[in-house]
């Protein structure tokens, strides 16, 4: 397999004669899905990401591929049906990353048993032939057996239903690879800092390499703004003073040892004290608990969990778990921002703001895609391309992504082998050890991640920094922030060898990563 030469990709930007068919700003799931859709239809496609792929919200989700039981309760049938269809497609196209998981709703009254069994049966029905399994009622002892660690006081029984679960950042990395394989150019660490106009119409972007500061004027027939919570920044570049389209809503997750609930199944709490949904989901051999829904007026690439959100999750979880989790038990805390479409008025109740996506075309021809969910990224891309073709006057070509395998797609995998995330690349990662036996060593004694994975991330997954590797190629920052800090030194050393960097770079990388990872730790 040929390694990805990022410098060569950057050089391709210097061709001043070139006009791209489509330039996409933003390398989260939405932008990458759009780039893949465009490239597979045969359009000359460029995607620019200001930081790393999935640095934004697309690495900070609850990791569910779901229709959204909550949206069903709100009567949003169209959204649920669309998401359930997309859930089926993602499980088929990225079977190495997304899997069918049983979720158990513990019920504490006969009414709850009745209510949730009817609701979840409707969820199954909406999934149709893409259903992942039938909803069923189970008795109290089965709930306790399947969810060891659950608080069984007053428990009456439970409802088991099926949904999907995946690795969000890994999907982004694999989408970037699939884009490249289909002829697109995708670049991380390349920020759009301006828009080019011909008269009042957008005709390209001004992009800057965030490491060297080098800039390029890049021409395109259409420009797509897929920047999540940053959408309004690009709109301001287009038309200063534009109305804000996004209302960010923060969601926080806490990661605990799996021993708090050593189950294969996930726990779903459909109605917390303040009417939210809380999940406790096994993920990379830990337990991810979340989330919150806190309206914010500001946004950043590194949102920080509020104390009130942490307290809410710990308190709610302790009501359902036999062993009360405390701050000291939290291995990692991560926050993400939902790029929700703002309502017309300035409501701060983000639970009520639309979760469905919108594709908007500005007078200048700039296309912005907002809202949505990771689960529906492919449909969002298809809808966006529909608009882009019309705006740019491109020769229409039908969408090809519904049945397109994502890079690494393989059905034969062992979820207990941590290398499963590489799918069809698994053997190639291990083959690196033939080059240097040392690469078979782990980067941290308590975790299975190998030095070979660091090399793989640099050569084949465009990782540029220690953070890229430890946060989004292997997920150690999200799994255990302390262990990630401890692994940063060897990771920097391995990367420096590959990227031709000196000791100074290594020290800077370790210092920068340590500072960042400290935000994923709770002070006692």
Ligand X SMILES: Cc1cc2nc3c(=O)[nH]c(=O)nc-3n(C[C@H](O)[C@H](O)[C@H](O)COP(=O)(O)OP(=O)(O)OC[C@H]3O[C@@H](n4cnc5c(N)ncnc54)[C@H](O)[C@@H]3O)c2cc1C
Nearer to ligand X, 196 or 490 (CB): 196
Q: How many amino acids of this chain bind ligand X (CB under 6 A)?
A: 38
CA 489 to the chain's CA centroid: 26
158 lines the binding site for ligand X (CB under 6 A): no
Q: Are strands 294-295 and 246-257 parallel, antiparallel or unpaired?
A: antiparallel
CA atoms within 13 A on the CB side of 308: 5
48 lines the binding site for ligand X (CB under 6 A): yes
Among 364, 375, 384, 506, the residue binding ligand X under the rule CB under 6 A is 375
208 lines the binding site for ligand X (CB under 6 A): no
47 lines the binding site for ligand X (CB under 6 A): no
What are the helix (H) ranges across 398-471? 426-435, 451-460, 466-467
Nearer to ligand X, 334 or 439 (CB): 334
Cα–Cα distance for residue pair 315/279, rounded to 1 Å: 13
Structure tokens at 267: 């726990």
Cα–Cα distance for residue pair 154/143, rounded to 1 Å: 12
The DSSP letter of residue 236 is: H
Contact window for ligand X (CB under 6 A) among 59-67, 73-81, 267-275, 404-412 = 59-67
28 lines the binding site for ligand X (CB under 6 A): yes
Among 95, 158, 204, 251, the residue binding ligand X under the rule CB under 6 A is 251
Nearer to ligand X, 88 or 336 (CB): 336
25 lines the binding site for ligand X (CB under 6 A): yes
Site for ligand X in 447-476 (CB under 6 A): none
62 lines the binding site for ligand X (CB under 6 A): yes
> Minimum Å distance from CB 275 to ligand X?
17
> Minimum Å distance from CB 162 to ligand X?
15
Among 30, 93, 135, 182, the residue binding ligand X under the rule CB under 6 A is 30
29 lines the binding site for ligand X (CB under 6 A): yes
Among 23, 26, 394, 517, the residue binding ligand X under the rule CB under 6 A is 26
Nearer to ligand X, 168 or 425 (CB): 168
Among 186, 255, 268, 374, the residue binding ligand X under the rule CB under 6 A is 374
Contact window for ligand X (CB under 6 A) among 35-43, 104-112, 336-344, 427-435 = 336-344
CB 354 within 8 A of CB 371: yes
34 lines the binding site for ligand X (CB under 6 A): no
Residues 6+ away with beta carbon under 8 Å from 363: 200, 239
- Sign for the CA dihedral angle at 501, 502, 508, 510 comes to positive
Q: Shortest CA distance to 247 belongs to which of 191, 296, 306, 305?
A: 296
> Minimum Å distance from CB 10 to ligand X?
14
Cα–Cα distance for residue pair 391/394, rounded to 1 Å: 8
Q: Shortest CA distance to 474 belongs to which of 435, 514, 421?
A: 421
Nearer to ligand X, 337 or 485 (CB): 337
Cα–Cα distance for residue pair 501/513, rounded to 1 Å: 16
Cα–Cα distance for residue pair 94/338, rounded to 1 Å: 23
> Minimum Å distance from CB 488 to ligand X?
22
45 lines the binding site for ligand X (CB under 6 A): no
CB 355 within 8 A of CB 376: no
Cα–Cα distance for residue pair 199/197, rounded to 1 Å: 6
Q: Return the SS3 of 126.
A: helix
Among 64, 195, 245, 330, the residue binding ligand X under the rule CB under 6 A is 64
> Minimum Å distance from CB 57 to ligand X?
4
Measure Cα distances from 52 to 173, 231, 264 in Å.
10, 17, 32
> Which residues would be at the binding site for ligand X (CB under 6 A)?
25-31, 48-51, 55-58, 60-64, 66, 191-192, 226-228, 230, 251, 291, 301, 336-339, 372-375
């Amino acid at each position: 397999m040929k390694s990805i030469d990022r410098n060569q990709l950057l050089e391709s930007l210097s061709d001043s004669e070139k006009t791209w068919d489509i330039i996409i700003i933003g390398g989260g799931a939405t932008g990458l899905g759009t780039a893949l859709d465009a490239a597979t239809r045969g359009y000359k496609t460029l995607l620019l990401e200001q930081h790393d792929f999935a640095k934004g919200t697309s690495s900070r989700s609850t990791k569910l591929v779901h229709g959204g039981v909550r949206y069903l309760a709100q009567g949003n049938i169209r959204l649920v049906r669309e998401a359930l269809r997309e859930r089926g497609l993602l499980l088929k196209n990225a079977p190495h990353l997304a899997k069918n998981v049983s979720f158990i709703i513990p019920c504490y009254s006969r009414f709850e048993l009745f209510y949730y069994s009817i609701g979840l049966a409707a969820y199954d029905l909406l999934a149709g032939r893409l259903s992942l399994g039938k909803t069923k009622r189970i008795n109290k002892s089965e709930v306790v057996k399947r969810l060891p660690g659950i608080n069984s006081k007053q428990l009456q029984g439970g409802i088991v239903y099926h949904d999907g679960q995946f690795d969000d950042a890994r999907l982004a990395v694999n989408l970037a690879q699939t884009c490249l394989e289909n002829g697109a150019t995708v670049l991380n660490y390349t920020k759009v800092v301006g828009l080019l106009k011909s008269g009042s119409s957008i005709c390209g972007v001004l992009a800057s390499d965030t490491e060297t500061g080098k800039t390029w004027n890049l021409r395109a027939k259409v420009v797509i703004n897929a920047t999540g919570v940053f959408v309004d920044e690009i709109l301001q570049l287009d038309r200063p003073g534009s109305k804000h389209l996004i209302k960010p809503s923060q969601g926080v997750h806490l990661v605990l040892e799996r021993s708090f609930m050593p189950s294969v199944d996930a726990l779903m709490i459909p109605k917390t004290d303040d009417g939210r949904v809380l999940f406790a989901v096994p993920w990379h051999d830990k337990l991810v608990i979340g989330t919150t829904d806190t309206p914010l007026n500001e946004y950043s690439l590194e949102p920080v969990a509020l104390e009130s959100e942490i307290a809410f999750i710990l308190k709610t979880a302790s009501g359902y778990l036999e062993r009360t989790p405390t701050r000291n038990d939290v291995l990692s805390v991560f926050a993400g921002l939902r790029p929700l479409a703002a309502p017309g008025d300035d409501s701060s109740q983000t639970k009520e703001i639309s979760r469905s996506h919108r594709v908007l075309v500005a007078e200048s021809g700039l296309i912005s895609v907002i809202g949505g969910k990771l689960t529906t990224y492919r449909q969002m891309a298809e809808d966006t391309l529909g608009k882009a073709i019309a705006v740019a006057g491109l020769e229409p070509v039908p969408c090809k992504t519904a049945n397109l395998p994502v890079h690494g797609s393989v059905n034969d995998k062992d979820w207990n082998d941590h290398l499963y995330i590489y799918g069809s690349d698994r053997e190639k990662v291990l083959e690196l050890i033939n080059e240097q036996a040392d690469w078979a060593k782990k980067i941290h004694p308590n975790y299975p991640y190998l030095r070979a994975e660091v090399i793989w991330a640099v050569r084949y997954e465009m990782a540029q920094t220690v953070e890229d590797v430890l946060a989004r190629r292997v997920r150690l920052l999200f799994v255990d922030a302390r262990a990630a800090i401890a692994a940063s030194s060897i990771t920097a050393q391995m990367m420096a060898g590959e990227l031709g960097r000196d000791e100074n770079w290594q020290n800077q990388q370790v210092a920068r990563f340590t500072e960042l990872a400290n935000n994923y730790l709770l002070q006692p």
